[in-house]
Chains A and B, each alone.
Chain A
Amino acid sequence: MAAETSSVSPAPRFSLIRQLRESPHAQGLALISPTLIYLLFTLVLPLLLVVVLSFMTRGPYGNIIYRVNLGNYTRLMDTLYLRILGYSLLTAALTTIGTILIGYPLAYYIARTPPRQRSVYLFLILVPFWTNFIIRIYAWIMILRTEGLLNSFLLKIGFIQAPLDILYTPTAVLIGMVYEFLPFMVLPLYTSLEKIEPAQLEAAADLGARPFMAFLRVTLPLSLPGMIAGSILVFIPAMGMFVVPDLMGGAKTILVGNLIRNQFLTARDWPFGAAASMLLLILTLIFTLFYTRRAGFGEELLV
């Protein structure tokens, strides 16, 4: 095979292409610009608008008067609203704890099963995970209603005399929230537990640790990243949740999410709603920073 030289054609005349070619900076910016532009309009501007809105006043007909005042924020300091806020935080915290308590043994179990069977168990977690959450809440409503399954069953076997009032109480909200968020805790926990190499536990045993001790001193700490990732995925959305309280909590249980929703759609007090949103946003930021400082972002656990 004789060697033939192919001719070298001249470099392109378009200087724009040349500039792009020569500057990695320009290439990177070009690729990310659609995203930046899009999010500028759908994220940055709207949020700025909300900030501005939170300082405005509500007009008599539900419109907005552009006069700056801090009234919305001072109104938020009222005990009524602080109680709602506190209650939201408490609910989110309890939900997180609940998902950890219920989810940890489950994740642990799945991580211990042989790999072949494991995918089945994971699959079984994923099915409800991907099912629309309103449907799943509805299922619980069916069960917890006064005339619902739980009560009918308990009455029938004579365990109770009168139907239990579970639905439309804070308890129901909690049950719904834990149920809803359980997969979000189990999956990262599982990922974290699965990464623990058996050799470490064997080493612990070799050095004299009983199974429970080994769990406490080796497994638990090593699964911490998973717990933290799961907590981020549970606590933060739980803070802003309004669907579950709406469906299962009745008028008595109001969380921050419901408050905001009401201000925007029912009470038509957008400035006040905006202020409440800002409060929620700031809290979210604080907790996110707190969590990520503890354990990095753990995005690999999310995927």
Chain B
Amino acid sequence: MSEKKPAIWLRIYALLAYAYIYFPILILIIFSFNTQKINVRWEGFTLQWYKVLFNDQNVILATRNTLIIAFTSTIISTVIGTLAALALQRYRFPGYGAAESLLYVPVIIPEVVMGISLLAFFASIGLTLGLGTITLSHIAFNIPFVTLVVRARLHGFDKSIEEAAMDLGANELTTFWRVTLPTIMPGVLSGALLAFTLSLDDYVITYFTAGPGSTTLPLRIFSMVRFAVTPEVNALSTLWVLTVFIVLLIGQIAQRSQSPQQTR
């Protein structure tokens, strides 16, 4: 778009829009320090709710579960998804079209439908709901997203470096491990990050595939919001927002430091 500075009304609008976006979040954060329990009016500053949070066994358990599920599903879905991306981007095989469509289904399908279908499936094969079923479900919806991201990054891939490696004596496996993988690594990491976040954040599918005692953070937050509203929720929310902020910031800085030296 053009280099001219945007018109004044546009700037005002943008300001208001950002305010609209951030206002609720700021309220959330501010009231996490509120002494009043029912959180209607501001009374005084306190850190007590954070103390409550850190001692809340349910939350700690939920966090632990969430992280375990997120890490496991990320690793597995990233491996499987990267292989699929390579398959789709470089090969033509019988059933290509069907495979590609199949891969897009979890992206398009309403989460409710996927959730209940998994619930029905696990029930029908007699699998008890728990961390395992949640993880299996997360892998299922993560694979397509990883594949999508890695595929996009594979677009500009120069096959001649693989030929060069083979020319110099590396067989197919060595070529993949020493040349292909390092080169597509940024894309793979992007995909992994996406998968991790999706898993961390997921509510609906987790809701249907979780068993008693296998609660995750989003599930816990939901029940806290629905049933036991105290500023503890605000404290939890504040920490979450802060974490996201920091992680994204690190990501931005890392990206910045990678780009500048692009000569040629």
- A131 contacts B244, C-beta separation under 8 Å: yes
Question: Which of A29, A111, A121, A193 lies at the interface centre, i.e. has the most chain B CB atoms within 10 A of its CB?
Answer: A29
Q: How far is the CA of A147 from the CA of B200 in the complex (A)?
A: 32
- A42 contacts B28, C-beta separation under 8 Å: no
Interface size range on A against B: 35 or more
- A277 contacts B113, C-beta separation under 8 Å: yes
**B121 to chain A: which residues have CB within 8 Å?**
42, 45-46, 49
**With contacts defined as CB atoms under 8 Å apart, how many contacts are there between chain A and chain B in the complex?**
258
User: Is A251 interfacial (CB 8 A cutoff)?
Assistant: no
User: Is A249 interfacial (CB 8 A cutoff)?
Assistant: no
Shortest distance from the beta carbon of B257 to any chain A beta carbon, whole Å: 13
Q: Which 6 A-B pairs have the closest CB atoms?
A: A28-B91, A240-B110, A139-B24, A31-B87, A46-B117, A32-B87
User: Is B149 interfacial (CB 8 A cutoff)?
Assistant: yes
User: Is A169 interfacial (CB 8 A cutoff)?
Assistant: no
Partner of A25, one of B22, B41, B91, B104: B91
Name B177-216 residues within 8 Å CB distance of A.
197, 200-201, 203-204, 208
User: Is B136 interfacial (CB 8 A cutoff)?
Assistant: yes
User: Is A81 interfacial (CB 8 A cutoff)?
Assistant: no
Per-residue CB contact flags for chain B residues 85-127 toward chain A (1 = under 8 Å, else 0) read 0111011111110010011111011111110111111001000
Q: Nearest chain-B residue to A302 (Cβ)? A: B148
Shortest distance from the beta carbon of A231 to any chain B beta carbon, whole Å: 13
- B241 contacts A135, C-beta separation under 8 Å: yes
Partner of A260, one of B96, B109, B113: B113
> Besides the contacts A28-B93, A123-B249, what 8 more A-B pairs have beta carbons closer than 8 Å?
A31-B86, A46-B120, A106-B13, A108-B6, A124-B21, A142-B39, A257-B112, A303-B152
- B143 contacts A264, C-beta separation under 8 Å: no
- A109 contacts B14, C-beta separation under 8 Å: yes
Interface size on B, residues (CB 8 A): 91
Could you write out 6 A-B pairs with CB less than 8 Å apart?
A29-B94, A109-B6, A111-B1, A112-B4, A112-B10, A142-B39
User: Is A65 interfacial (CB 8 A cutoff)?
Assistant: no
Q: Nearest chain-B residue to A23 (Cβ)? A: B93
Shortest distance from the beta carbon of B114 to any chain A beta carbon, whole Å: 8
The secondary structure that dominates the A interface is helix
Q: How far is the CA of A273 from the CA of B4 in the complex (A)?
A: 55
User: Is B222 interfacial (CB 8 A cutoff)?
Assistant: yes
- A43 contacts B105, C-beta separation under 8 Å: yes
Partner of B10, one of A105, A134, A179: A105
- B28 contacts A127, C-beta separation under 8 Å: no
Q: Nearest chain-A residue to B2 (Cβ)? A: A198
**A113 to chain B: which residues have CB within 8 Å?**
6
User: Is B237 interfacial (CB 8 A cutoff)?
Assistant: yes
**B222 to chain A: which residues have CB within 8 Å?**
134, 243, 247
Residues on A lying within 8 angstroms of B by beta carbon are: 21, 24-29, 31-32, 34-36, 38-39, 42-47, 49-50, 53, 102, 105-106, 108-114, 119, 121, 123-128, 130-143, 145, 147-149, 152, 179, 182, 193-194, 196, 198, 201-202, 236-237, 239-240, 242-243, 246-247, 256-257, 260-261, 264, 270, 273-274, 277, 280-281, 284-285, 288, 297, 299-300, 302-303
The secondary structure that dominates the B interface is helix
Partner of A109, one of B13, B95, B225: B13
Q: How far is the CA of A8 from the CA of B11 in the complex (A)?
A: 69
**B40 to chain A: which residues have CB within 8 Å?**
145, 147-148, 152
> Known interface pairs A105-B17, A247-B225. Does A242 touch B204 (Cβ–Cβ under 8 Å)?
yes
> Known interface pairs A43-B102, A135-B240. Does A31 touch B84 (Cβ–Cβ under 8 Å)?
yes
- B240 contacts A140, C-beta separation under 8 Å: no
Per-residue CB contact flags for chain B residues 218-235 toward chain A (1 = under 8 Å, else 0) read 100110011000000100
> Known interface pairs A147-B40, A277-B112. Does A131 touch B92 (Cβ–Cβ under 8 Å)?
no
> Known interface pairs A50-B117, A127-B248, A299-B148. Does A102 touch B201 (Cβ–Cβ under 8 Å)?
no
- A38 contacts B116, C-beta separation under 8 Å: no
